[in-house]
Amino acid sequence: MQSILRTAALRVARPSRAFVARPSAVPLYRSTQIRTLVTKRYTTDHEAVVFDDATGVGIVSITDYAQSSLGDVVFVELPSLGTEVGQGDQIGAVESVKAASDIYAPVSGSVEEINETLSTEPGLLNKSPEEKGWLCKIKLSDPAELEELLTEEAYKAHCEA
């Protein structure tokens, strides 16, 4: 009998969740989804750019194919912040144990950020060329230039040729 009373007392002490009143002004589901388009394109000189249309910024890197062709990277020269670049302009250089190679801007715009880590860790280009080893971020002046660049499939075909 005592256990029945204890169970009944617990039921009274805990209100059921089904009857909790919610203010009508607070929505149960809030959709704050913003859709952005991220495009990745390549040059025939083995640079890549990942463009986010929400920010208008493209992240420039060399491709995995380029870093494997270069060998162990020992030095990276990057553009200065605020530099205005045109599509195809030289924006830096990469030196490896095998060779030195120029880096060209895949798109036109203003250099907004550079990967400072590459000055002390140039080997990041070998470990993670298109992610941690990115070179610079360019605010595009003409996003239509992306259409002139190669898609992933076209770039793969270019490398195999």
DSSP 67-97: HHHH-SEEEEE-PPTT-EE-TT-EEEEEEES
Average pLDDT over residues 3-24: 49
| Residues of the chain above pLDDT 70, percent | 78
Q: Taking phi first (over 0 means left), then psi (-120 to 50 degrees means alpha), and beta for anything else, what does residue 19 get?
A: alpha
pLDDT band for position 8 (cuts 50, 70, 90): very low
Whole-angstrom distance, CA of residue 52 vs CA of residue 123: 26
pLDDT tens-digit readout, 37-59: 789 999 999 999 999 999 999 99
Residues 6+ apart with CB under 8 A from 52: 36, 37, 38, 58
Q: Report which of 83, 77, 61 is spatially closest to residue 127, judged by C-alpha positions.
A: 61
Give the pLDDT confidence score for residue 159 in this predicted structure: 94
* Under 8 Å between Cβ of 90 and 72: no
Give the pLDDT confidence score for residue 36 in this predicted structure: 63
Give the pLDDT confidence score for residue 161 in this predicted structure: 87
Average pLDDT over residues 98-125: 96
pLDDT at 156 over 50: yes
Residues 6+ apart with CB under 8 A from 12: none
Average pLDDT over residues 95-113: 95
| Mean model confidence pLDDT for the chain | 85
Give the pLDDT confidence score for residue 5 in this predicted structure: 43
Residue 94: both structure tokens together: 């990469």
| pTM, entire model | 0.77
Cα–Cα distances in angstroms (integers) from residue 157 to residues 76, 80, 124, in the given order: 28, 33, 26
